[in-house]
Amino acid sequence: MQLDTMKIVITGAASGMGRSFALAAHRGGARVLACDVDEAGLASLHEETGGAILTQVCNVADEDSVESLFDVAEKELGGADGLINNAGIIRDGLLVKKDKETGAIKTMSLKKWQQVIDVNLTGVFLCSRAFSARCAEAGRKGCIVSISSVSRHGNRGQTNYSAAKSGIVAMTKLWSLELSRFGIRTGAIAPGPVDTPILMQMPEKAREGLARMIPLGRFADPDEIFHGVQFIFENEFFTGRTIDIDGGTVI
């Protein structure tokens, strides 16, 4: 598949890395359906491209919402042949910690755990399932690219996030075995820190400390991550693997 012939659904596309992916895919000639829970952000993306990027409000953690998204893809695009599972949230916290003032033991809440798992892992499952089923039904080749993270190796304070991102790697490998019979390939990208608005909201000292962990001494540009996504889409002999684009970061 070549980018300029593709029809791609992108999740978490109203802002940050997902928005950059949507714009890059559009510039590359692909037809794009962008989804997010952020209706205002989607409207801005639609307007920025003169309506060329189609948008749909979707909660990737909700089965009905996901099915509706891919129904729209069938109707408006004639069916998607590319999916970028980008939607994700962060709810960091230590599994167990001691309060510095009171000495009380506190734990990560089940709510924080479940919120991240629902969006970052179950969302990937639901979107990939809906996408693959429609490709299989139509006899259409397809490619799923899911965004993992360098944190999949286990990052302090990110039990929920690390679990979800390592799960994405496992599902990517597993689905390559199950879906190849339908002409569907899979891949994942594991970025290091990326220059996005969320990262820029961190305190300056925290950003500086994070940058020192990266041998290249800087954060990735979202377009550098998209280069990896495009490679997976266009290389027909690639499936089931995860590409690290992390500047050499080691956690």
Q: Which of 19, 17, 7 is nearest to 245 (CA)?
A: 17
Q: Which of 39, 24, 42 is nearest to 145 (CA)?
A: 24
d(C-alpha 54, C-alpha 183), whole Å: 26
Q: Write down the catalytic residue from 131, 161, 219, 226.
A: 161
Q: Which of 53, 51, 52, 66 is nearest to 18 (CA)?
A: 53
List the beta bridge partners of residue 191: 245
- Name every residue whose Cβ is closer than 8 Å to that of residue 102 and which is 6 or more positions away in sequence: none
Length of the chain: 251
Is 161 considered catalytic here?
Answer: yes
Could you please report the per-residue DSSP string of 60-115?
TT-HHHHHHHHHHHHHHHSS-SEEEE-------B-SEEE-TTT--EEE--HHHHHH
d(C-alpha 108, C-alpha 249), whole Å: 26
Active site residues: 161
